């Protein structure tokens, strides 16, 4: 199969972790006989510095011409809390989501036996937790207009907007995934306060009739935030709007023991983007200490969701598990001070893929 991807490393540790992810992708393509082509492009602060635009037209054209986008991270301290900055790296991410029609962010939340001791929750609460968060990406307060501040600067306002089409599209996706899992959908909203949430609930109540084999649960966002901590194993597929999803998925990621372990996929109308959930971590940039496993696991999602190559995705996940069992991990999740460098983890996993799986001469 032809595998044609755009590679957007971005800022901070982005180039380092993407390099390790590409090692895994190249190893899989060589092992399974796929024809890999890829091109790199600018995004984020790096793109602002070179072009003045965090998501240049050239980058967008490459993404549109690719079957999938492999994305690192964006963000730089010089733009944080800087009111004089006319453009911010994060605007590139929002522009990419909008222009590519990335309407659904999928974050699997899975616990790893070797990391349970690092979870802030008691082992009996988190052991076996396995659920999927599906966050709507193109609507809500992040894109609502009007948005701004009063002339005197003392009042600011944002507008939350959702349409029936946006809600229906992502809710049906949630039911589709639930049917492949444990057949339960939890719809998170704030329908007791927000008009947009009341529309969400109305639309879901209409759609749930199309999926009688799937249990539907409605939950206010504050209750969901508590339940993720109190009883994470009660969830199967959670679906919610943009801002709620942004907050809840970060909360859910912490219970697994490390932000550096969780991948994500953003499903789009034109193409899809695969990226780790963590940020650019500029303090670690260039030090070869960043955990690349979330990025490598995002490569597994890339094979599965963009190309329907489940065996290839499983090969990457199995290699990641093997690296953890062998103690080939970075300092954030290492035990007894036996830490490997970012590049060493990437090399080990690529080598493991080459030595195992499928019948090849490699």
- Catalytic residue chosen out of the listed positions 103, 142, 162, 281: 142
Q: Per the structure block, which two tokens stand in for 158?
A: 């944002």
**Is residue 287 annotated as part of the catalytic site, yes or no?**
no
CA–CA dist 95, 100 (Å, integer): 8
Given the structure tokens 């329908």, which residue do they identify?
191
Is 11 assigned a catalytic role?
no
Angle, CA 342 vertex, CA 341 and CA 345 arms, to 5°: 85
In the set 49, 250, 318, 332, the catalytic residue is: 250
For residue 142, indicate whether it is catalytic: yes
Please pick, among 246, 318, 332, 347, the residue that the annotation labels catalytic.
Answer: 246
Rg (Cα) of the chain, in Å, rounded? Answer: 20
Place of tokens 């499928």: 358
Q: Which of 190, 236, 281, 305 is catalytic?
A: 190
d(C-alpha 107, C-alpha 134), whole Å: 7
In the residue annotation, 222 being an active-site residue is answered as: yes
Helices then strands, counting H and E runs in the chain, come out as 13, 12
Query: Is 250 a catalytic site residue?
Result: yes
List the one residue out of 18, 96, 103 whose CA is nearest residue 64.
Answer: 96
Question: Is the distance from CB of 227 to CB of 234 less than 8 angstroms?
Answer: yes
Cα gap 151→275, rounded to integer Å: 39
CA distance 64 to 95: 13
Among 78, 80, 157, 222, the active-site one is 222
List active site positions: 142, 190, 222, 246, 250
């Amino acid at each position: 199969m032809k595998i044609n991807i755009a590679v957007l490393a971005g800022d901070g540790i982005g180039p380092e972790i993407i390099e390790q992810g590409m090692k895994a992708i190249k190893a899989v393509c060589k092992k399974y006989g796929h024809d890999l082509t890829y091109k790199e492009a600018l995004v984020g602060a790096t793109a602002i510095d070179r072009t003045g635009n965090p998501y240049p037209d050239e980058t967008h054209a490459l993404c549109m011409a690719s079957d999938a986008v492999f994305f690192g991270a964006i963000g730089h301290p010089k733009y944080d809390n800087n009111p004089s900055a006319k453009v911010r790296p994060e605007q590139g991410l929002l522009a990419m989501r909008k222009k590519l029609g990335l309407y659904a962010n999928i974050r699997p939340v899975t616990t790893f036996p070797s990391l349970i001791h690092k979870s802030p929750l008691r082992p009996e609460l988190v052991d076996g937790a396995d659920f999927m968060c599906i966050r709507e990406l193109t609507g809500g307060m992040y894109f609502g207009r009007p948005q701004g501040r009063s002339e005197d600067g003392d009042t600011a306002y944002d507008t939350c907007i959702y349409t029936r089409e946006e809600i229906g599209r992502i809710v049906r996706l949630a039911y589709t995934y639930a049917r492949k899992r444990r057949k339960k959908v939890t719809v998170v909203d704030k329908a007791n306060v927000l008009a947009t949430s009341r529309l969400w609930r109305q639309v879901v109540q209409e759609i749930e009739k199309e999926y009688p084999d799937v249990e539907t649960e409605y939950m206010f966002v504050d209750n969901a935030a508590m339940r993720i901590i109190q009883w994470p194993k009660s969830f199967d597929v959670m679906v919610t709007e943009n801002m709620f999803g942004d907050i809840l998925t970060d909360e859910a990621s912490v219970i697994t023991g490390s932000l550096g372990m969780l991948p994500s996929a953003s499903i789009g109308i034109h193409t899809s983007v695969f990226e780790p959930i963590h940020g650019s971590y500029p303090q670690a940039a260039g030090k070869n200490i960043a955990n690349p496993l979330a990025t490598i696991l995002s490569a597994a999602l890339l094979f599965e969701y963009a190309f329907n190559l489940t065996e290839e995705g499983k090969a990457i996940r199995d290699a990641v598990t093997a690296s953890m069992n062998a103690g080939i991990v970075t300092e954030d999740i290492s035990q007894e001070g036996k830490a490997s460098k970012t590049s060493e983890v990437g090399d080990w996993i690529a080598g493991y893929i080459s030595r195992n799986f499928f019948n090849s001469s490699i």
